[in-house]
Amino acid sequence: MTGPVSTVPNDSSFRRRLAAGEPVLGVFNCLPAFQVSEILSHSSMDYIVIEAEHGATALPAMHAQVAAIAERKPVVVRVASDEPGVIKPILDLGVTGIMVPDVRSADAARDIVRQTRFAPEGTRGIGGSIRASRYGMDKGYFRDGPAEPITVILQIESREGLDNIAEIAVVDGVDAVFFGPMDLSAQLGHRGRPDAPEVAQAMDVAIRQLAGTACVAGCLCPPAKVGHWRDKGISLFLLGSDIGALTASVEAMASSVTRPDKEDAA
């Protein structure tokens, strides 16, 4: 092999749609069983985010999850922090991109982007037989880099992040900023109320600051709210999680049945 042959899912349409501001729909993969990841990869979602910030997964499980998704869907990992020791082994799995929580400054954004690029453009470490290089069989991977640059999605979850969003958005290599409604609402004094008007207003102001930049906006929201936030200028969506879908489905099944004991009690 003389050129880069990436092990990541073919994400050209994912990156093109991001850059074009088209609506892109995804789901959190919180359950670490690789079978769940594989099931999600056959769904109609546009991309999958493996939850490694709050989820119970670990590196060996993530390896299996990424491999189970294979080339069917773009796969992003929400990492636990921006530390190099956290990000580096996840990149070596051959993921499409990373989502980094609570980014507060342009300097932090630049450091994260550098971690996703090999020297001299960045600081990404070069490992030998990693999955991203087809276990060393892609001889051009380290020389030429991945077939597609690592997608970088940065979460805005603080007042400081909101104040600096215009500078964060123009950092070269930042593809999207993503509003984390739960943490953002807590930081703004409305913990547990992500739908508080003050939170929505702060997001509106921040989204307007992205106008004219190459950076798109994203957020976590239920399907019924996609139209609302789409009109506000958001194009990258996470609609929920596998856990949420499972619990909602089970509860819906249980509540749809009339229980004989309850009928007798009435």
Long-range CB contacts (within 8 A, 24+) of 158-163: 158/102, 158/104, 158/183, 158/184, 158/187, 159/187, 159/188, 160/104, 160/105, 161/102, 161/103, 161/104, 162/202, 162/205, 162/206
**Separation of alpha carbons 63 and 69, rounded Å:** 10
Q: What is the DSSP string of 198-229?
A: HHHHHHHHHHHTTTTSS-EEEEE--GGGHHHH
Residue 30 tokens, joined: 């919180």
Q: Annotated active-site positions, please?
A: 54
Amino acid at 126: I
Say which residues have a Cβ less than 8 Å from residue 114's Cβ, sequence separation at least 6: 121, 122, 123, 124
Please name the helix (run of DSSP H) or strand (run of DSSP E) that holds residue 15, with its range, or none. helix 12-20
Site of tokens 């276990």: 135
Q: Is 38 helix (H, G, I), strand (E, B) or coil?
A: helix
